[in-house]
Structures are given as structure tokens and as C-alpha cells.
Structure 1
Amino acid sequence: MPRVLVVVLALLAIAVVVAWCLLNKHSPPPSVILPEVPAGVPALPADLAGATGPIIAWSAQTQARFEPCGCTAGMYGGLVRRAGLLARVPAERLLSLELGGWSAGKEPHQVLKSGFYLRGLRAAGIDAVAVGTAEVALGAPLLAGLAKDATTHGLSLLAANVQGVAGITPSLRMTVAGKELVLTAVVSRSALGDGMTVSDPADSLVPVLAAAGNAEVVVLADLSETALLDLARAHPRLSLIVGGAVEGPTPQPLTIGAVRVVHVANHGKTIGWWAWGAQSCHFDLIPDSLPDVPVLRTLVGDYQRTLAATDLPIDHGAGRSAYVGDATCASCHASAHALQSASRHAQSFASLEKKGYHADPECLRCHVTAFAQDGGYRRPDAVKRDSRMSVSCEACHGPGQAHVMAGGKASPLRPVGAATCVACHDAENSPKFSFEIYWKKVTHGK
């Protein structure tokens, strides 16, 4: 074969290899600019600040909460404030974990929120996210979509014992403060989700441990405390088990041989901290007095604007309306209507508009009348500016058409009492609510 032809063929072969590599290479994950510590964030406890090894931080059961409801003062939790507490630790020393229960739910607006929340986790410097029972319940297609979102933003969704979902990673190797770690996650075998299988947690860790070599193995486990301890007994080679599906925190790590077990609960209102090898844990409540991290506050605004521009199934409905509106109520119940009109209930939708949350179904559920019900308020109704855009008479008393058609003498309206109020003013959204105190502000005669 002529030498020139050999050279040409060799060059062609090299070109093919280079082209294949360019087409098939994996893009590096987007860089993360960790937020600076906002002014007003308390200093890191001295023993954590003085630690030389990895510092583990974790939260669980957050349900994609960027922030608490915010309708009253004194509420806890939220990623927009948690990120400021995390930023106190230098990135090279921090291992920041999100345990199971981070997703918002199956409804389209909840899936949208979960995707934005994953972006927020990465912006906050979270290193790994575990798949928990709530995520398995989404089913394989929805969870695979969120796994793809996570990968796009440089995050790994971890689960060693969940099969059948594209994009789920069984383990992740990383180095923190000079210590080589292998991260993995397990969920209870009782977790159910369409299109996937969940194997025994202990069995699923066998190949992870075999491949770990000399690295320390950290398990994020969405298990009960009893199951966490059983897992430690089954695998004494483990270094640390971090749990979230529990009732409360561990002031000191639980010890099974050389395995340490720590956990935190409280629906994302708390961060757990443990300095590697320490004898005790720290727990930070996340109060609303903490300042927001600007990059995350901006992301919340992006989410709300995207939500407002997204057509949702709950925006559409059929069925005859049984709601008559406040003007009809006022024709017979003038004094009661006057009291309602002067109350904060009448400004409930306006308060959402002021914050830019007027298209959020999670807020509208309690800030309008009969949200997404036949004849009740739906998001396209905002252009009508009628009484359904408030906590109107019928929000508490129920639809009034039958009452009106009967001349007010039959078909009595729904009685109102404490159970009516706590449907919205519950412990999660109105922690300081007292029916005895607040009823006096809205009670009225016929």
C-alpha cells in the first residue's frame, strides 16, 4: 500500500475518533457559585468552625419548600434561608445533603415546583439528593424527568435500591476535607411507585461496598429509626447513616460498632450538623428572621412567573356553578357582608398579588373562594375581579344557590366553626392561630 494512502487512512481514522469523542463526551456540570453569608446570619458554633474534617449538613422531608407559607410571622424552614446557614462553612469542608421527601407531589404544578427546587438545591451548594418514599410514589416517568433535571443542573439523585428509573445513580464518589467518601441512598422496601422496583436496602448496599475500596461510605436512608439501626448492624463496614423518616433529631450520633447513625426530622424546618468524628450533633431551626439568599429569592420569582404563564389542568373545569357571589349575599345579610368586606379575608387575594404569588395553587387554595371547584375561582378568572378573589361569604358557608332559590328559609348554609377555620389556619400555615381569639374578629349575626 502506498505510503501516502496509509497516511491518509490514518488521518481519517484519527478524525473519526476525534469526531466520536466530541459527539459523545459528557458536558461538565454547570459551575455553582455558592452564596455568600448574608448579613444577620449567626456565626457557626465554635466546635464546627474549628473542625478539620468534613462537616455534614442535612435536611429532610422539605417538600420543595423554598420558604414557609409566610402568612404569619414566626414560621420556620425554607431553602432561601437555609442556604445562608450552609454558606458559613467553606465549600471544600462541607458535605451538604438533601434526604428523601424533597418533591412537592404529582400534580403538574407540583412537578414544576420540584424541578425548580432541584435548581435551588444546586444553587445552595447541595452535593447530593436522595430518593425517598415520596419520590418513589411519583412513578417512574415523573421521577425520571426530575432525575434528568437534576443531572442538567449538576446534581445526582441517589438510590441504590430503586430500579427501573432512568437517571438514578446508585452511588457517588467525592472528596471532602481530604477524606474520600462514597455516597449512596436507600429507601424503604415498602415504598411503592409505578414502573419501578424497590429492592431490600441492605442487599442493595453489597455492590456499593464492594466497589468503595478504602473510601468512607455514607448512606442517606429514608427509613425508620429501627430500620436505620438494623442497616448499621447488617453492614458494619459503613461509616455513617443519615436518616430522615423519623420523629426527631439525634443529639448524639447513635453508635452500632463503628457505624454512626444521625437523623433529623421537622419537615425541612431544621438543619442537622455533624463534624466528622464528633461526639454530638448540632441542629439549627431556620427562622423567618434570617435573611434570604438573593440568588434563591430570584429563583422563587422565576418559578412564580413560570407558573403564572403555564396552562394547568386545574385552570379548566366543567359543571354548573352553585356559587352566587357576595353581592347576592349582601341583599339579605348586609351587616354580615359589611363586616366581611372590612376584614383581612376580603384582602386575601390582594395579599398574594402584592408578593407575586397570585398564580400559585398552593396559596390560592386558601386565599380565594372554592379554588378549582365547579363555579369556584380558577386562575383565568383573575380578569373578572369578582368576589371569588377573596375569602368571601361562600368560602366558609359553602355555595349559596340552593339557599337563595329557597328564599333563605330552607337549605341552610354550612355551619361555621373551628373545623372550618383550621382547614386553612392549620399548625403548618398558621402556627399561632387560636379559634377562640380570632373568631371574635369575624363572628357576625344573620
Structure 2
Amino acid sequence: MRGRNPMAYRFFLHAHMTCTTCGFFALFFAILAGCGDNVIRESQRDRHRSGIPLTKVVDPGENELFQPPDKVLQKIDQKAPHEPADAYGDSKAKKPKDYVSLNGSIFVDWKKPKAAILLSGLLDGYVEPCGCAGLENQKGGLNRRMALVELLKEKEWPLAAIDLGGMVRRFGPQAAIKYQVAIDAHRILGYEAIGLGTHDLQLPSQTLLSQLTPEGKSPFVSANVRSIFDEDFGLIQRYRVIKVGGMRIGVTQVLGETFAENLQNADYEYQPPETALEPIVKRLKSEKCDLLILLANTTVEEARSLGETFTDFNYVVVAGDSDPPPPEPEAIQPHVQLIELGHKGMYVGVLGLYENPQQVRYQRIPLDGRFKDTDSITRLFAAYQDQLRTQGLAGLALQANPHPTGRQFVGSETCADCHSDAYEIWEATPHSHATETLIKLPLGRQYDPECLSCHVTGWEPQEYYPFTSGYEDQEKTPHLFGNGCENCHGGGAAHVAAENGDVDVDEEELTRLRDQMHVTLQQAEKNICVRCHDLDNSPEFEFKTYWPHVAH
């Protein structure tokens, strides 16, 4: 297919994938993105602008995108003992955070650099701040990263942005949609080179191919991963030379052997990093670069080893083992520095380059609440939520699976027929309003499986899929609104049927069905609550502190 028009090929690919993958990948060809070529030149009009075309987005103010049915609205409008804000740490009652005191100042005593390099990586699917509770305590998110970029542009710093890869941590339709959103956001942010992580490469190669611009440009770079589409379309470039601030920055990326063990996609060919880097380093040196950067999607040990072997690189950038990551680079050779960025996009790094190479500066930046949401990324997230709404559970390939116990769900109101005292306590807690919380958010999340799993009844909370007879949608299963009784006690259908006399059971079976609904405090603390109140979503959770508020 060499020489074939890339746009014409994309239309062919669209039609092919629509018939072979149930049509869900057709979504990506309406939202195409790409960037750069081997030598990226600055634009005098806007040196930070990337070559990726703009994604069509929707206005987050268009409430009809997230308008629930009338009967749901009536339920939401009922005065509740707890507003959704309570589930986010009662933010209305808390004083504004002093983020500088908490996480430190940034760019103290920095002079304007000749060039600044924004370093990021291992987003791991966290396109928004990590978690959903205690938002003011969370770090990360592409909205905040955009606010940082806008700050640097206001300072008129010549800026280039590069990412070591690892945009998603799952695979399947939602992961593919989220990958598209992440790449689109990086286009808006102005990224010049994007590496590839293991989970990125588990997605169909057509997902990456859809990022090519009509001119055939791609944002992807890797020295040791090749695609079946490279020969015809240059999907993955071996390296990039970025021109910024009058400097030439050479960039390449590798996927480490440890992570590559999990790579199972015949569309890609893998080489050991050492084998692939040797000729690439020679080519980069011939480009007369002022600085060489290796983006290492590897373990820290592998990154150090590569820095010790390939001493022409000035910086080796890796996610690392610790959060927060170290505040300063680590010297692994006299002229080779190791930079760790951490996980989930909570931190980024900025290299400040000056005329005198000895004056280089580095700043680790926590993406905390000092960075506010931006219109451009918020619109992109609104489009993402609308795509999830349009796809629905079926379009996201989320089929209901039987619960491991085989039990089925009836809803908390059915429990109230006999357990009225416990129900009244539950109804007065944020658990009962968990679904309304999603609906009332500025960008509704009630169609997002990653949010639904802990905000409705009858879902697997860590794997993001519904159980048989679990919540489906607002119209079909309004009785499963909220994080209900059965999320902790298990599905109660058989128990209810036996108690109501709908089935004939003996006394022994009746007792067994009652006993299986019982949960001890020890079980709740060790195995149940933490499935939703985990480190990401509820970092301040302590069972002994929270339990008195829901004790029943």
C-alpha cells in the first residue's frame, strides 16, 4: 500500500473494522489525531502548536447530553439528608487548601530558559485526577496539566512536551475510547513525541493508526517496537528531533523487556532495547542535537542499565518505583541523569535548558488543586462522557456476568420491607445517593462504567462490569440506584423469595439463606469496604472512623 493516500486508506479501514469488530471502532475515525515527523520545526505563529488535527468536542453546558429521565429527576430533587458533596469530603465545609505549603513552590528563582521540556508518562488511564473522593487532595489529570502548559506559555517559555507512554491500563472498547481522548488531549497540549506502553500496544493497531493526520504524520516514537503499518504509513517513528528555542532535542523511546513479556499483539514486532538503540544513537548523533533524551517505559533497574550503556543520552526518563517521585534527577553516569516521574500522571517534570549547559534546572511539579480546569480539556471530557452514553453497555462490550455466588439482586427498597430500621439508616447516608452524585456532577458520569461500578448496586467494583440482575440503566433498573444493601450483603433474591413464601424451603434452607446475608465487621473491614474505598478513590478512608456514620 506504499504511496496510497492515508485518508483514503482510513476510509477503507473504517469500513473493514465496522464489519469485523461490531462497529465500535468506527467511532475513532470521526476523531482523528496525529503529530509531527522526524524533524519537528517551530511555528513562528505558535511554536507550541502540535500538528494533530482538532477533535470535535461538545459543550459541557449542553445539559441534554446528561439529562436523566423524569422519574429519576423526581427522585433526585427530593431533599436528601446528604448532598453529593459529602461523598467528596464535604468540600463546602472545608477551608481552601494551601497547595504551596502542602506540596511546595515551583520554579523558584528560575530565569527564563532558552527552552523548557515538559516530561510526562504512565498516565495509566487517569485522564482526570486520581480518584473521586477528596478531590482537593488528589493529584494529576490532563486538565491540570493543560493549566500548567498555559502558565508556561504566559511566561513565554519556548516549550516542547514529550511523553514516555502508558496512556491506559486496560483494554477493550472503553480503554480504546479513553486512549483516543488521551491522545487528543496531548495534541491540545502540544506534545511532539509520545511513547508506547504495554497496555497501549494491547489495543488494536488500528486504534493507533487512526491517529495519523491526513498528511500521514504520527505522534508515536519507539526505537524497539515496530508496527505492521510502519512500512506503508510510518506509524511508529524510530526517533524525533524537536526544534525548540533554537535548540535541537533528540528523543527516542524504548519498551523494557520486563514489560514486553506481557505484550501479546501480533501487529507489533519487538526488539531488545540494547539491540534497537545502538543504530538509533548513531543516527541521533549525526543529527547534531544539543540534548538527547531516552524515554524508558521500563523498570528503574533497566533504565539505569540503559543509561550506563548508552552514555550519549543526557537524560533517561522513567516512571520509577515511588510516589511521589524523587524531586531531583539521579546521576547514573557523569553526564547521564535519571529522571523519575511517578505513576498515574500525578506529577510531571520540567527541564529548563540554558545557553550554559551547566545551568540546567529541573522541577518536579505536583498537579494539585493550584491548577484549575481549562475549557479545552473540559470540552474534550464532555465529549468522552457523551461517547460512553452513546455506546451504552452493549457498545462497550460489557455483558452481565453471573455473581460468583450465583445470587441475584432485588434492590434496597425490597430489603426495607423487613429491615426498616437498617434501611432508614442507609437512606440517610451518602451511599443511598451515590448514583445521584454522578448525575449531579458538572460533567455527568452516570454512563461511565468506571464510575458506575461503585455508585450503583450489582456491579463488580474493581473490574467495572455488571452482574446478572445488577444495574443496567436509569430506565430499566432505577431500583438499583445507589450503593445499596446488596453490595455488601450480597444479592438477596433467594432470601427474599424464601421469606415471602414464593418458594418452598425447609427450616434448614431458610436459616442458610438468612446466614449468607450476614456480614461481620471483620469481613466488612478487610474485604468489602476497601473494594470501593481504596487508595485512589478514598485516600483518607479508615474503617473505624467511617463505620459509625453507617452503623446498622
Do the two structures share a fold, i.e. TM-score over 0.5? Answer: yes
Relative to 1, partners in 2 of residues 1:170 and 1:414: Cα closer, same or farther, differing over 3 Å? farther
8 A contact 1:271–1:284 mirrored in 2: yes
Pairwise CA RMSD = 3.1
Aligned: 1:219 with 2:294: yes
Q: Is the 8 A contact 1:253 1:279 kept in 2?
A: no
Q: How does 1:248-287 map to 2 (within 5 A)?
A: 248-249=325-326, 251-276=328-353, 277=357, 278=359, 281-287=362-368
CA deviation digits over 1:252-305, x for unaligned, max 9?
342413223212113211111222344653211111353101100111001101
Please say if 1:79 is aligned against 2:142: yes
Question: What letter matches 1:309 in structure 2?
Answer: T
Task: Give the match for residue 271 of structure 2.
Answer: 199
CA distance in 1, matches of 2:352, 2:327: 14
1:71 Cα deviation from its structure 2 partner: 2.9
Superposed, which structure 2 residues align to 1:176-325 within 5 Å? Answer: 176-190=244-258, 191=260, 192-195=263-266, 196-212=268-284, 213=286, 214-215=288-289, 216-247=291-322, 248-249=325-326, 251-276=328-353, 277=357, 278=359, 281-311=362-392, 312-317=395-400, 322-325=408-411
1:386 aligns with 2:478: yes
Work out whether residues 161 and 191 of structure 2, in 8 Å CA contact, stay in contact via their aligned partners in 1: yes
Pair 293,183 (structure 1): closer, same or farther in 2 beyond 3 Å: same
Q: Which runs of 5+ in 2 are unaligned?
A: 10-33, 37-50, 56-97, 230-234, 460-465, 500-509
Q: Give ranges in structure 1 of 5+ residues lacking alignment.
A: 1-19, 34-39
Match in the other structure for 1:409: 511
SS at structure 2 position matched to 1:384:
coil
Aligned length: 413
Matched, 1:128 2:235: no
One-letter amino acid matched to 1:72: G
Quick check: 1:175–1:181 contact (8 Å CA) kept in 2?
A: yes
Provide the C-alpha distance between the structure 2 equivalents of 1:307 and 1:432, rounded to a whole number of angstroms.
Answer: 30
After TM superposition, the structure 1 stretch with the greater mean CA deviation from structure 2, 190-199 or 115-124, is 190-199
**Map of 1:334-413 to 2, 5 A cutoff?**
334-355=420-441, 356-371=444-459, 372-378=466-472, 381-384=473-476, 386-407=478-499, 409-411=511-513, 412=515, 413=517
Q: Which residue does 1:67 correspond to in 2?
A: 128
Residue 156 (structure 1) aligns with = 219
- 1:57 corresponds to which of 118, 121, 124: 118
Change over 3 Å in CA distance of 1:223–1:267 after alignment to 2 = same
- Kindly name which structure, 1 or 2, has the bigger radius of gyration based on alpha carbons: 1
Aligned to 2:67: none
Q: Deviations over 1:355-384 (max 9, x none)?
A: 211000110010011121111112xx3113
Measured in 2, the distance between the counterparts of 1:23 and 1:336 equals 62
Percent identity for Structure 1 against Structure 2: 24
Give the secondary-structure state (helix, strand or coil) at the position aligned to 2:343: coil
In the alignment, does 2:515 pair up with 1:423?
A: no
Residue 443 (1) aligns with residue 551 (2): yes
SS of match in other structure, 1:145: helix
Question: Helix, strand or coil for the counterpart of 2:329?
Answer: coil
Q: Deviations over 1:4-60 (max 9, x none)?
A: xxxxxxxxxxxxxxxx9x999x99834689xxxxxx9988514444322x2222222
> What amino acid sits opposite 2:471 in the alignment?
Y
TM-score (structure 1 length as normaliser):
0.84
Whole-angstrom CA distance in 1 between matches of 2:435 and 2:274:
50
Once residues 245 and 105 of structure 1 are traced to their aligned partners in structure 2, the CA distance between those partners, rounded to angstroms, is: 20
| Corresponding letter in the other structure for 1:116 | V
Tell me how far apart the structure 2 counterparts of residues 280 and 313 of structure 1 sit (CA, whole Å): 45
Structure 1 residue identity aligned to 2:281: L
CA distance in 1, matches of 2:160, 2:446: 36
- Note closer, same or farther for the CA distance 1:41–1:253 as it changes in structure 2 (3 Å cut): same
Q: Secondary structure at the match of 1:174?
A: strand
Distance 2:401 2:512 in 1: 27
Greater RCO, 1 or 2 (C-alpha within 8 Å, sep 6+):
2
State which drifts further: 92-101 or 360-369: 92-101
